[in-house]
């Protein structure tokens, strides 16, 4: 699920980047914020930091004592992405293994659908391995599957989330309209 959140942030501009003209300063702040936002990637509390949308306000700059940099408190709106336990999502299969498949949804790539959570589907090995059921419904690379989220996990070192999903439920499974 994508969320539109308002966040406070502190942007630090090195003294040498400061310009007398106000417009250049705002530009510096935006660029700095864009870079930091992009490199942040994700947090445990809010999920993935996907895109910055608006810069709402720039507060008064404060000089930092020892470095001479200026700290600007800003408030902005950004789009974040999070998966919730019990949420139903549509993901694209990007990897097929003997015991399950990996789906991609939004910025998340490590969404695992285990074969134990794909009732009636069995693994068919080959150059393009797939999972197949009796009605010849296929789950393979690039197939869109609607699943329910069983659990999510935050990995501190990689700064990433993992998720476990399942096909067990009504109206879940491969989706053909894409």
Interface ranges with another protein (CB under 8 A): 1-5, 27, 30-31, 34, 38, 41, 48, 50-54, 79, 81-82, 84-90, 92, 104-107, 109, 146, 148-149, 151-153, 164, 169-171, 178
**CB nearer another protein, residue 16 or residue 127:** 16
Sign of CA dihedral 51, 57, 61, 62: negative
Residue 115, classed as helix, strand or coil, is: helix
Number of other CB atoms surrounding residue 116 within 10 Å: 10
**CB nearer another protein, residue 34 or residue 124:** 34
**CB nearer another protein, residue 54 or residue 67:** 54
d(CA 92, CA 102): 8
**CB nearer another protein, residue 44 or residue 122:** 44
Q: Is 28 left (phi over 0), alpha (psi -120 to 50) or beta?
A: alpha
Q: How far is the CB of 175 from another protein (least distance, A)?
A: 9
Measured at the CA of 53, the angle between CA 50 and CA 56, to 5 degrees, comes to: 130
Q: How far is the CB of 124 from another protein (least distance, A)?
A: 26
Write out the DSSP string of 76-88: EEEEEE---TT-E
Query: Of 147, 113, 108, 146, which Cα lies nearest the Cα of 130?
Result: 113
Q: How far is the CB of 52 from another protein (least distance, A)?
A: 6
d(CA 9, CA 2): 20
Which residues face 113 on adjacent strands? 101, 165
Q: How far is the CB of 63 from another protein (least distance, A)?
A: 25
Q: How far is the CB of 61 from another protein (least distance, A)?
A: 20
**CB nearer another protein, residue 97 or residue 155:** 155
């Amino acid at each position: 699920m994508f969320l539109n959140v308002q966040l406070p942030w502190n942007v630090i501009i090195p003294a040498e980047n400061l310009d007398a003209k106000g417009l250049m300063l705002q530009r510096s702040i935006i660029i700095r914020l864009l870079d930091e936002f992009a490199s942040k990637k994700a947090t445990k509390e809010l999920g993935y930091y996907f895109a910055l949308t608006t810069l709402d306000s720039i507060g008064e700059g404060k000089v930092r004592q020892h470095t001479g940099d200026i700290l600007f408190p800003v408030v902005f709106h950004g789009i974040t992405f999070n998966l919730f336990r019990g949420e139903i999502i549509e993901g694209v299969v990007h990897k097929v293994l003997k015991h399950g498949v990996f789906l991609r949804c939004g910025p998340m790539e490590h969404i695992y659908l285990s074969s134990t959570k794909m009732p009636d589907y069995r693994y068919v090995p080959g150059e393009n391995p797939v999972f197949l059921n009796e009605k010849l419904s296929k789950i393979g690379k690039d197939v869109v599957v609607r699943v329910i989220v069983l659990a999510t996990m935050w990995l501190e070192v990689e700064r990433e989330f993992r998720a476990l999903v399942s096909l067990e439920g009504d109206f879940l499974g491969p989706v053909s309209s894409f």
